[in-house]
């Protein structure tokens, strides 16, 4: 996926799936989730597709809806992950939402303008962590 394809992505399940995979989460189906929960917990993180939505399971944490491109709660999960390796600047102004993800002060990935804050963060995150070829 190239940079323009990431910038053209609309918020929703497909962007959420792409971002989850870019963050290193494994994607599984509902029946696999049930089997795993009977045996052990999910380790690093797993996104499970339930119809057209996703659930995120992480070790020792409650399951949450995985919708980072459309909800503030989901956006917060992405910010938590990114803060491990990146600096994040988020500007929220009426009519404009802008996110910069900065890697060691020399690589800056930016997204935003007239899109929602969760969409801007998801887009900048995909650009930064390799969801897009530059």
Check if the beta carbon of residue 92 is closer than 8 Å to that of residue 117: yes
Domains and CATH numbers, the chain: 3-128 (3.30.2120.10)
What Rg do the C-alpha atoms of the chain give, in angstroms? 15
Instruction: Give the pLDDT of residue 113.
Output: 78
> Cα-flanking dihedrals φ and ψ of residue 132, to 5°?
-135, 140
User: How does pLDDT run across 5-22, given as a tens digit for each residue?
Assistant: 998 999 999 999 999 999
Instruction: Give the pLDDT of residue 134.
Output: 46
> Cα-flanking dihedrals φ and ψ of residue 25, to 5°?
-75, 150
Residues of the chain with pLDDT under 70: 36-44, 105-107, 131-134
The predicted model scores a pTM of: 0.80
Instruction: Give the pLDDT of residue 106.
Output: 65
């Amino acid at each position: 996926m190239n940079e323009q394809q990431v910038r053209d992505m609309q918020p929703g399940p497909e962007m959420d799936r792409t971002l989850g995979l870019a963050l290193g989460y494994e994607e599984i189906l509902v029946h696999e989730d049930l089997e795993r929960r009977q045996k052990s917990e999910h380790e690093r993180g797993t996104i499970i597709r339930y119809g057209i939505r996703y659930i995120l399971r992480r070790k020792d944490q409650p399951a949450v809806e995985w919708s980072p491109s459309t909800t503030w709660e989901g956006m917060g999960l992405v910010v938590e992950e990114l803060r491990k390796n990146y600096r994040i600047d988020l500007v929220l102004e009426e009519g404009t939402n802008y996110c910069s993800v900065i890697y060691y002060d020399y690589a800056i990935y930016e997204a935003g303008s007239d899109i929602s804050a969760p969409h801007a963060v998801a887009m900048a995150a995909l650009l930064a962590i390799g969801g897009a070829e530059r």
